[in-house]
Structure formats: structure tokens, C-alpha cells
Amino acid sequence: MMERNVYGIYEMFAHLTLEQKKGVLRDFQEMVDAEENAPEGSYLEQKWKEIEDSLFDLSLEPYIDDQLEIDVIWHICEEIIKSGRLQEEPWKVREEIIQKITDNEYYDEYGVSDPMMDLIRDLPQDREEKLKTAEIMWNGSGFMKKDGAKLFRELGEEGRYIQYLETHLGDDPVRYMEVIRYYEKSDPDKAEQIAELAREKCRRAYKPGLTDVYAFLVRRAYDTGDIDRLRKLFDSARRRYTVNAESLKKMCPEAAKVAAYAEKTKRKMKRKKEK
């Protein structure tokens, strides 16, 4: 690998003009002098430099699978985590690495996302640093923001996790229920809005959880004394294949009785009008 890369540099150098070669040599000498005079980095800085060198080699490969550098990076990450020396490293050094891992989405394109996930979780050493790490990941893209939200939740910052879910609800009733439970006591009106949104967005998604959404709405209607809404909710549940109507009755037995009585009364009144 390295011999082939050096050969490529020699080949490019050979095709430069004399003046270009002199300029490249001056630049190279400045780089060598700077590296020789630079203070020796910390343990983590040196190990991360080894990782970055391997990542650079991987970037030159046409195919990533089964490259030796992947195993090298796995080994270095494991070595760093097991070294017991991370607490000795300045936060600034660890923060810069967290930022790089986040910006490059665990370097997933190089096939090393798993060891990078392990490393980014071990770099922060206390709650404050973990919160800062979650914030960095939150400001990342795609699944980095998702993992940042999960880390906030692990740290007891449920509000930040819910904030993420509210913008990534999709058609999964389970996600809606997490948001509903969060707002159920503090803001029941908002919880009801989320539940109604779930009824709309998850109507064709055959995933578990929509029965729980209906159960929340049923209890809400029962508690507020909205009998007509209660009847309509049970009627809707019976007509939806994504809702288990029998389970709903067992979850809300008293409300089910009231709804059944309301439905029976409505039918009687309808028959009277027809006569």
C-alpha cells in the first residue's frame, strides 16, 4: 500500500517542470522541518494520527472491503479505550476528535463505524463532557443527530430526545406514543394533537402501537366526558385493521361500556326517526 502510494508521488514528480520540482522540494522541506520541530503529541494525539493515516490510505483504495487498514483502525480504537489514559487527555484534544468523528459520520464510508461508535462514547469522561458530546452529535447530520438525541436521553435530558422525535415521527406509532406520554400530564392538549396526527399518518402502517394511541384518545374523551367522541373512537377502531379493537376494550373497559351504551342509544334513536 504505502510503497504503491510513494511510487505514485515519484511518478507525478517526474512529470513536473524543473521549476515546479524545485517548488515542491521547498514545500516538502518546510513540511519536514515543521514536523521535526513540532512538540510531541499526547498519547491520544499520536494514536489518532495513526488512525488518520490509515483512513487516508483507505481513501486511496478503489474498494474498501477486507482492507488491512480497517483491522488496524479497529485495533487502535480498542487500544485507546482499554488504555485507561483518556482521563489524562485534555478535553480540547478529545473534543476535536469527537467533532471529526461526527463530521464524518463515524467514517462509515471506510467501514469503521463500529469502532468509531465505541470510541466516541468513551472519549467524554464525565456528565458535562457527555452533554457536550451529545450537543456536537445533535448538530451533525442524519443518524448523528439521532444518536445525539439518544445520548441526551441516556443523560436524563428527555426533552431533547422528544424534540428530535417530534421532527422524525414518520409512520411509526411507537414514536408517537413516546411523545404522547411525555406531554400527557404537562400538556394534555398537545398530547392529543400528537395522537390525532398519529391516527392520520399511521393509518396504513401495520406496526404495533396504534392501539395504544387509540387508548390514550379514548381515556382522554372519557375523562373529559365527551361521549360522542368516545363512541366515534371505538367505531373507528373497529374499522381499522391496524387497531386491535378487542385489546382496546380490555385496556379501557369502563370507557368501552359507555361507548357501547352510546352506540346502542344512537341506533335506537335512528330507528325511531325512520318510523
Q: What is the pLDDT along the chain (275 residues), one digit of tens a residue?
A: 444 456 668 878 888 899 998 998 998 888 887 777 767 789 999 999 999 999 999 988 888 887 899 999 999 999 999 999 999 999 999 999 999 999 999 999 999 999 999 999 999 999 999 999 999 999 998 889 999 999 999 999 999 999 999 999 999 999 999 999 999 999 999 999 999 999 999 987 777 789 999 999 999 999 999 999 999 999 999 998 889 999 999 999 999 999 999 989 888 887 777 76
Please give the C-alpha separations between residue 19 and each of 10, 11, 26, 203, in angstroms, as whole numbers: 16, 17, 11, 71
Question: Is residue 78 situated within a structural domain?
Answer: no
Establish if 21 belongs to a structural domain: no
Residue 185 lies in a domain: yes
pTM for this prediction: 0.80
| Cell numbers at 251, concatenated | 385496556
pLDDT of residue 243: 92
Please report whether residue 243 resides in a domain: yes
Using CA atoms, how far apart are residues 130 and 120, in angstroms rounded to an integer? 10
> Do 211 and 199 meet the contact criterion of CB atoms below 8 Å apart?
no
Per-residue confidence (pLDDT) for residue 7, from 0 to 100:
61
Residue 73: other Cβ atoms inside 10 A: 25
Mean per-residue pLDDT over the chain, rounded: 91
In a domain, 257, yes or no: yes
Residue whose cell numbers read 325511531? 272
Which domain, by its residues, includes 200? Answer: 169-266
Nearest to 153 by CA among 179, 173, 171: 179
Flag whether 271 is in a domain: no
Residue 138 domain flag: no
Rounded alpha-carbon distances, angstroms, from residue 199 to 53, 175, 213, 271: 51, 13, 8, 31
pLDDT of the residue at 2 = 44
Q: Looking at residue 237, what is its pLDDT? A: 93
Q: What is the pLDDT of residue 187?
A: 96
* Total number of domains constituting the chain: 1
Query: Does the residue 259 lie in any domain?
Result: yes
